[in-house]
Amino acid sequence: MPYLESLKVFVRVVELGSITAGGRDLRLTPAVASNRIKELERRLDVRLFNRTTRKLSPTEVGHAFYDHARQVVQSLEDAEAAISDFSKNPHGTVQVTAPLGVGKRLVAPLIPEFVDQYPEVSVRLRLSDRKVDLLEDGLDVALFIGRPPDSNLKLRKIMDTPRVLCAAPAYLERRGTPQAPDDLRRHNCLLLRYPRSPEWFWTLSTAQGPMRMDVSGSYDSDDGDVLTNWALAGRGIVNKPRIDIADHLQSGALVEVLAETPPEPAMFGCLYPHRRLQDNKVRLFIDFLLERCRRKLAAEQTRPALP
Q: List the chain domain ranges.
A: 1-84, 90-160+265-307, 163-264
Q: Which CATH class is domain 1-84?
A: mainly alpha
pLDDT for res 267 = 87
Is residue 178's pLDDT more than 70? Answer: yes
Q: Which CATH class is domain 163-264?
A: alpha beta
Whether the domain at 1-84 and the domain at 90-160+265-307 fall into the same CATH topology: no
Predicted TM-score (pTM) above 0.75: no
Range in 93-107, 138-152, 175-189 with the lowest mean pLDDT: 138-152
pLDDT for res 253 = 97
- Residue, of 30 and 114, whose pLDDT is higher: 114
What is the maximal distance between C-alpha atoms in the chain?
71
Can you tell me the mean pLDDT for 7-16?
Answer: 86
pLDDT tens-digit readout, 227-273: 999 999 999 999 998 888 988 999 999 999 999 999 998 889 999 88
CATH of domain 90-160+265-307: 3.40.190.10
pLDDT for res 195 = 61
Count the alpha carbons within 13 Å of 216 in the hemisphere toward its beta carbon. Answer: 2
pLDDT tens-digit readout, 58-88: 898 888 898 888 888 877 776 766 665 555 6
pLDDT for res 123 = 94
pLDDT tens-digit readout, 129-162: 777 778 777 789 999 888 776 667 888 888 888 8
- Residue, of 50 and 148, whose pLDDT is higher: 50
SS3 string, 171-238, reads: HHHHHCCCCCHHHHHHCCEEEECCCCCCCCEEEEEECCEEEEEECCCCCEECCHHHHHHHHHCCCCEE
